[in-house]
Each structure stands twice: as structure tokens, then as C-alpha cells.
Structure 1
């Protein structure tokens, strides 16, 4: 695949139309050419989990692209992927195949069992190693970042900016000693739970149609985790928390409330999506929601089928912008975390098609720039105290 260059961003306020040198647009450039160069910062991907499952093929998978999954370095470059949150995730033994019921709503899937501390730490540490390996072998094309300033600098250098995120805190002991160790390694975002119970709280199961008000909230250890994350300026991700857990974080945290990859419950009544009441709380804190691209989060009928147009994507964005304001919405793709992406998106090379759809829908260039990257970078500045 031919490597595509992207618009280079300078530190400070991002200007979506800023170009220089060879990136300067010619009058003959088509809309597709333009949108391929539109930088996108993404709230969530699970590429590291793919590497964990097949470490022996990681060089081909990352550097060359093996045609599987949603992400690799060449396709990121081609699609204008400028950075994002890279998730560390420890799988459950009974995880595989449990989502098949999503093909036939209604459903309420059983919660997988939590991974134990030892195996979780083994998996997560392996993924941390993969992340830094990706940085090393990319020779400047990929940078692990620990601050918003570093994100801006990486993007300005045309290097993909990676934030280390933990999806489900099973690799952290209830005494939180491991949290400080992972923070030293570069951890800057934590979801206390994935959709399963653990020492810190009760994850929201995948259910449709259903309210997110399912099960109890945070444990005492979970509340201590939130306070420690506030101390360390680590983002607390609300995406897999149930409603009571969400409310516990909102009552404890002094940081912006963030859901890295969730959608609007009013459009798709999936238990994992956010109600208008939750969106209002996020807006009050100048927080952020990243739009999840997975079909089941988008389709009003709750099915996994990828046979959809951009219409539900736009409906969710319209609703999120209406409830949160245009400064608090971005993308949270869930690339490589789920198999059923809408047909018009398919993988990371579909990002330019999303930008085209936003333009066709009537969104201004200023608003598209905010959704694509500016809102996330400014959220990082607020969350990290920069």
C-alpha cells in the first residue's frame, strides 16, 4: 500500500486548513484527496489485543499490514489516523463467541468472568511491551505520548500519537500499587471496568433494548481508584460502567467526565450507550464522548449487521452535539475491538469517507476539525492540567 502523508499540525490551536510544502493543496485536488489528509485523533482502539493474540506475526501485522483487522501502520497513514488511545485489555476465559446473540435482538448477554490479577498483569505487560516495540520499529512514525504537549508535537512531526489506556482495571491490585507503576510506564487513561465485574465495580452488560441502570456501582476500591487517578491526572473512562458506577465517578471525580467510545442511548437503546441525563453530566464538567463506530452501537434495531449507511452515524453525532455541545464530541472508533463495522467504514481507511459524509451532511470545516481531532486534544489539556 502506498504510504500517504497527512496535514502537519503545529503546536497550539489546530487549523484544519493549514498546509505547507508538499502538502499544499492544488486547485485540481479532489474532495477524496483532501479528506485523506484530514487528521483524526481516535478515542479508542484495540490493536494491542490483536498483537497479544498473535505476537509471532506482529511485524507483518504492524509494519506491512496483513489484510486482517482494522488497523496497521500503512492503513493508518492512508486513512489520516493521527493518533489515539491504545487499549490494554486482559481477556476473560469465557470471552470468545459470547456476542453471537447480538445478531438477533432482543438480548441480554451474560457478563464474562473477570480475569485474575496475575494473568491480567501478564497480558497487560505484554501489551505495554508491544506498544513500545511499535514505537521503536516505526522509526519516528509512531510516538507514545504522556501529555497533550507531546501529542501536539508528535502530530506536528507527522508521527502517530499514542496515549496508553487500560480498558478494565483487572491488572491493578486493590491496593493500587500497580496503578503507580503503570503510570510511570505512561498510562494516562483507565476504565475501572470492562463489561464484567471486578474488584473496582460492576460492568454494564450488553443488553438491548435496556437501560444502563443494571447492577451496583463502584466498590470502595473503585472509589479509591478514581481518587488516585485524579491525583495522577489519569483520565477515568466511563464507557463500560453501568449507570450507578457512572454516578459514583461523577460524584467523586474533580476531572472532566470522559466516555472514550460510547453513543447516544436515545438513538440506540443499548445498555452500553449513554442516556441524556448522563450526557448532561458530562457536559457540566466540560468532558468528552467519542462516537463508537461499531454497528451494534449505531443501529436503532440493536443488530450487529454491518449493512447500514452513514445515516445512523449522523443521527448519533447530531444528538451528541445537541446534548453535549460541539466542543465535547469526537470519535472513539473501537477499531479491532469488534468485527462488525458499518460497510461504508470497514477499517481505518474509511475515515476519509466519514469526513466526506460529515461535509455532505452540512457540517462546517470548523466543526469537522473539532470532531476529528481538536476536541480530543483540548480534552487532554484539561484532563492533564496543561
Structure 2
């Protein structure tokens, strides 16, 4: 069975906040959307495991508001660097414990991912969603890189010293606020030098354009959808998609229903047809080599037909029924991510390409 390699999950956050243990993930539990038994049932072979630090003392997303016809949630306050670093270290401890128990195989190269992807454990690339743990001199990158970090989103949906995240706002575009700060531009350059992937999900439009102007690696949005289908600030306009496509980049389709439903409502009633609309539009802009999946497991409300990671099985069936053949299926499920990882992590030099702004 062709495995899924997934662009984004929040399992490490679930382990930090909800008392889910590594043993629970190994043996199976009912406290979240991802564990090893259900991953095997759904055909998940691996993915990016996100380190994320919530704003201390702040409430979570206003889910009641996000069930309405329109909403505009304020950006949470910034998180200070020492607090963020402590949270990131806790997440890394959980990540390492999952490895000790044989749930995941930590991977820092594309070759390691591809080998583990077809094995008994989950191929795991360590990602950081929001770079608050890194100070302006970027010194913390040494520790994080040594711990296995190979992917960074400069922002979540709040501001950092590096740039500006988009709010959870519907309807809206991501053309909100200025671009990267000077520290943000330095972060992109240092990540290019170290061969760390830069994730554009949650970054505003001007920040995305700044990354595109600096980076010599393929651009990626690990868990973002098509604005034409769902006009949310968290979704990508055709102009943004063309910028990513021009670099040979990849966009991973997010299963969160507020990014799938055309009305932006965060409710579980979400037919698979909505996801297929995003898929078709992304393919029309990005091409067959530029589209993948980025679930947001343990970080989003999923469609009622999916529910958790075991729901990858009916997704696979829906893709077949939609006419996706074997070759394209392999690209969507894992090969497109592997190509980008080889070009970013695996020693293949990044290449600057003409940017297309349509």
C-alpha cells in the first residue's frame, strides 16, 4: 500500500497539553487523532512533527466564533523567547521518547525518510511552528539543529521578531501587515545555509514574497489550502501559489474543515468533495509535482468522514474514485514531499528560479 507522508501534525502539542504519553501513542488511545495503531490502519508512513508553544494564559481558538458565517479572531500576544524555548525543549523530549519506544524514526535526511517510510515505525522530521524559541542572533539554531530540527515556520498566527502571522479571519486574504523583519531575512538565509526547510503556512503575503526573494530552496506551505475555494486568510491565493510553483515547491492540503469548507466554518460536516475541489485547483496551478497533504492532525476539527488518522483509508478511496491514477497517487501521498526534502535536506543544492507572479 502506498504510504502517506504528512506535512504537519500537532501530536507533540497534544502530548504536552493533554497528558497523552508516548506509551499511549504506541499502544493506542482515545484522547486525540493520531497514534501508531490508527496510523497503521490509515496507511500513514510518516510526516513532519511540529513543535508549537501556545501563548501562556491565553484561551485557545474561539471555536464558537469560527462556526459563524464570518469571523476575525485577534492575534494572540507574542511569546517571549525563554518561555518558548522551554516549551520547545519539552516537545523535543516527547519526540525523543517516541523514538525510544519505536513509534517514530527521527530523520534528518531525505534518504532516512524514504527508508523509514516503508518500515514499521513512522518516519519523523522535526518541525517548529513559530520561531519564538530563537533569539535575534539565531544562536539557538545550533541546539535545535543538533536536536534534529529540519523545518521551521517563522510564524504561527501571531507575530514574532521574524515576521507576521495571519489571523484566523474569514473572509480575508493574507495581505495583512508588513513583510519579514531584518531578523526574519537573516533567519531565512541561515536556514538555507544549514539546509533547513522554511514553511510558509501562517505567514502573511508580504512575508511569503520576502522569503521567495531570498531563499534558494523550493518554497513550501506544509498545511495550507486554496483561497479560490475557501477565502480564508490562512489559504493561498493564486498569486501566492504561482510564486511557490515557480520554485518547484509543494503545498500540503490541510484537513481542517475551516480551510476546506467554502464558507470557512469550523464544523465537522464537510463532504470529501470540498477537499477534492482544493486538490483540483491546486493541481491546476501547482502541477502534479507540487501538491501533497498536510493534515493538521491533533490541531484541527476534521471532516466527520475522516475523524482521525485512520480516516486516511477512505481518503485514499475517494482519490481513486476521483480518477487519481497510481503514478499521481504516489506523488500526492509521498513522492512530492520526498523530492522537496532531497532538494532541501539531502545535499542537492537549492536553485533559484524565475518567480511567476500572475
Fold shared per TM-score above 0.5? yes
Q: Which residue of 1 aligns with 2:189?
A: 227
Provide the C-alpha distance between the structure 1 equivalents of 2:330 and 2:238, rounded to a whole number of angstroms.
24
CA distance in 1, matches of 2:28, 2:16: 16
Matched, 1:326 2:288: yes
Of 29, 33, 38, the match for 1:66: 29
Range 284-293 or range 153-162, more displaced: 153-162
Q: Which entry has the higher C-alpha Rg, 1 or 2?
A: 1
Q: Secondary structure in 2 aligned to 1:163?
A: strand
Distance apart, 1:193 and its partner CA: 0.3
1:276 to 2:276 alignment? no
- Aligned in 2, Cα 1:100/1:60: closer, same or farther, shift over 3 Å? farther
For residues 331 and 315 of structure 2, the distance between their equivalents in structure 1, rounded to whole angstroms, comes to 14
| Deviation of 1:155 (Å) | 2.2
How far off is 1:60 after superposition?
4.3
CA RMSD of aligned residues (A): 1.1
What TM-score do you get using the length of structure 2 for normalisation?
Answer: 0.94
1:218 aligns with one of 167, 176, 180: 180
Query: Would you say 1:167 and 2:136 are equivalent positions?
Result: no
Which secondary structure does the structure 2 equivalent of 1:98 belong to? coil
CA–CA distance in structure 1, aligned partners of residues 122 and 98 of structure 2: 11
Determine if contact 1:264/1:316 at 8 Å carries over to the other structure: yes
Aligned: 1:90 with 2:53:
yes
CA drift at 1:63: 1.7
Which of 303, 313, 336 aligns to 2:265? It is 303
Question: Matches of residues 223-262 of structure 1 in structure 2 within 5 Å?
Answer: 223-262=185-224
Quick one: distance in 2 between partners of 1:217 and 1:109? 21
Change (3 A) 1:95 1:224: farther
Q: Identify the residue that residue 360 of structure 1 maps to in structure 2.
A: 321
* CA distance in 2 between partners of 1:106 and 1:374 (Å): 37
Matched, 1:291 2:253: yes
Q: Is the 8 A contact 2:63 2:266 kept in 1?
A: no
Whether contact under 8 Å (1:176, 1:225) holds in the other structure is yes
Partner SS for 1:77: helix
* 1:363 Cα deviation after fit: 1.1
Q: 1:177 and 2:136 equivalent?
A: no
Q: For this pair of structures, how many residues does the alignment match? A: 346
Q: Give the match's secondary structure for 2:21.
A: helix
Cα deviation digits, residues 258-297 of structure 1 (max 9, x gap):
0000000011000010000111111110001000000000
When residues 100 and 114 of structure 1 are mapped into structure 2, their CA distance, relative to the original with a 3 A threshold, is farther
Write out the 4+ residue segments of structure 1 that deviate beyond 6 Å after TM superposition.
Answer: none
- Please report the TM-score for the alignment, with normalisation by the length of structure 1: 0.88
Query: Which whole-Å CA distance do the structure 1 matches of 2:151 and 2:317 have between them?
Result: 30
Unaligned runs of 5+ in 2: 349-358
After TM superposition, give the deviation of residue 79 of structure 1 in Å.
Answer: 1.1
For 1:104-253, list aligned pairs within 5 A. 104-138=68-102, 141-253=103-215
d(CA) in 2 for partners of 1:91 and 1:189? Answer: 19
